[in-house]
A and B are shown apart, each in its own frame.
Chain A
Amino acid sequence: MMAYVRLLVALGLLSLLLFVVSLLVGPAGVSPRLSLSALIFGDAGPLTLVMREIRLPRAILGAVIGAALGLGGAAMQGYLRNPMAEPGILGVSGTAALGAVLAIQTGLTATFALALPFAALAGAGVAVTLLLFLAGRRGGALTLILAGIAISALAGALTSLVLNLSPNPFAANEIIFWMMGSLADRSFLHVALALPFFALGACLILPLGRGLDSLTLGEDAAEALGVRIVRLRVLLVAGVAAMIGGATAVAGAIGFVGLVVPHLLRRTVGAQPGRLLFASALGGACMVLAADIAVRLILPDRDLKLGVMTAIVGTPFFLHLIYRTRGRG
């Protein structure tokens, strides 16, 4: 227990540190002292505008979206009892992006801003439901991954199609954003769109910890312990869809966070999916904040996409997991 609390405190401090660093890193290249004083005290100058309207929402979104992806990954892994379940790889983020793209291209978002996260939520919800259905009561890891690949491929193809058909000359260019994700030049409007969905999803999923713990003994045993599996499943689907939908609607599809973070933390937390939930939310925030700092340090002027960074870190983990589960299919 002590180790768990220490871990949470450490992750909390780390995410706080990364949050502050994220505020201080940017193409404008202003000294940290000036930046922070402009953020906190404020003046009429352009630096205050940069700090309050560009960097602050970016850092908040990094933390919120990271937490959403980490928590979403941990919840899916816990429920499916499969360390390879992850919203990005299994196409949940991809279908969320498709929903968001449809909402933008049909003009819905122009009349009703909340249509964006709601459409992304609907897309994510369809994918999660489909995945749970296909995985079944005892679906193996392979079944799940293959189903995810199919859903990802379809969502990616349809997203490209919709953007290619758009009469707008810039739309086709956006395929990269929706597939790879970015936090560049987001604003508080986007925080307002994503945050409520994250809060809703977290409120639905965090209380499921005990149920997920019991589920490690198998569904029958969990039911015998008083876990209502159907209710748990519905809440999980709704929670994951809300969080991933909200995150993807404003930042595009960012993969591998929900895979890497629970994987790294499982060793310290132990084999209790319930405990892993909260730790993964903090860990996800750390990972996305760190990746978003990295993209700005590596190529400050080129808007290097976040998903590229997380994929570079995440793919070796994924291959390692596949290697370990070989033959257990």
Chain B
Amino acid sequence: MRFIDRISGILLAVLAAASQVAAAPQRVVSMNLCADQLAMMLAAPGQLISVSYLARDPEASAMAVEAQAFPVNHGLAEEIFLLQPDLVIAGQYTTQATVSMLKRLGIPVAIMAPADSLEDARDRMTEMGAHLGHPEKATALVAEFDENLGRLAQDADEGPRAAIYAAHGYTFGPQSLSGDILRAAGLRNVAEEAGLDRGGMLALERLVMLAPDLVILSQRRGGNSRAEEILNHPALRALLEEAGVAPLTDRNWVCGTPHVLRAIAGLAVERDAGQEPK
């Protein structure tokens, strides 16, 4: 009985491995900024044939330079179809019309949910490895990620109090990827004190009253907007004279990829700078 179990187990494993090799897609198109970056890290040469145009935006993408090597798409069904992909990787919330059309045309589409935590980020790496047929590369990437994270991570319980503040007065709570980045860098998130779990608008006067030790401020984007005016509000400027300020560099913060380690490392520097006697 046990012998048969073991044999069938081995057989199943062999079969699974064989089907994975057979199923490894040869023409992969990514339509999502975060998937773009994971795919560029994990795909075999020639396997990835297009990434989204956002992957080349140096403000949004941590791999803008690498993305120069790939043709870009704009998430339109027509252009994707003409690339004749055998796998399309899309995000969960954007380009939904394109995804449903590609499915109707018989093209396999893998949907990747956004990462809302460092745990999610780890899962996405594994998922991408499975989609591309390179689980071993993903395992190595996760192991490297965990090792680096372990070296960087600090205890947040007694750490300085920090707030993320972006255009429109938006902040991120503890139950978000940004919240995890804060925690890993040894910072306590004041959004939690304000009762925001995932994130939301934080009125400027509440931010001022919370008086955080460090404000992680979003950087102005190209073009002009009224939404970013709040970042120049005199009350915020006065607050920043007391508190430290760190940049919220979107490219390292928005996607669950190993690049979040750069965000954590950057914060750790600010944290240590703030704790030195002034």
Measured CB to CB, the residues of A under 8 A from B are 26-28, 30, 46-47, 49-50, 53-55, 104-107, 109-110, 166-171, 173-174, 177, 184-185, 187-189, 300-303
Contacts and interface: CB of A to CB of B under 8 A. Distances in A.
Question: Range of interface residues on chain B?
Answer: 20 to 34
Contact of A26 (B167, B203, B227, B235): B203
Contact of B201 (A28, A169, A301): A301
A173 B239 CA distance: 26
B83 to A, nearest CB: 26
A170 B233 contact: no
A92 B247 CA distance: 40
Given A46-B211, A104-B224, A166-B225, 15 more contacts: A27-B205, A28-B206, A30-B209, A50-B235, A53-B235, A53-B238, A54-B205, A54-B233, A106-B224, A167-B222, A167-B223, A168-B228, A169-B221, A185-B233, A187-B234
B169 interface: yes
B206 A173 contact: no
A116 to B, nearest CB: 10
Contacts of B204: 54, 185
Nearest to A110: B224
Contacts of B41: none
A43 to B, nearest CB: 13
- Most chain B CB within 10 A, of A107, A110, A173, A185, is at A185
Interface string B230-255: 10011100110000000000000000
A104 B234 contact: no
A110 B238 CA distance: 21
- Most chain B CB within 10 A, of A110, A169, A173, A174, is at A169
Interface of B: 167-169, 200-201, 203-206, 208-209, 211, 221-228, 230, 233-235, 238-239
B239 A46 contact: yes
A56 B209 CA distance: 16
Contacts of A50: 205, 208-209, 235
Given A174-B227, A184-B203, A54 B221 contact: no
Contacts of A49: 208, 235, 238-239
6 contacts: A28-B205, A50-B205, A110-B224, A184-B169, A187-B233, A301-B200
Contacts of A300: 203
A47 B203 CA distance: 14
Contacts of B224: 104-107, 109-110, 166, 168, 171
Nearest to A169: B221
Nearest to A171: B225
- Most chain A CB within 10 A, of B201, B211, B223, B224, is at B224
A301 B195 CA distance: 11
A26 B205 contact: yes
A55 B230 CA distance: 14
A10 B55 CA distance: 62
A62 to B, nearest CB: 15
B227 A171 contact: yes
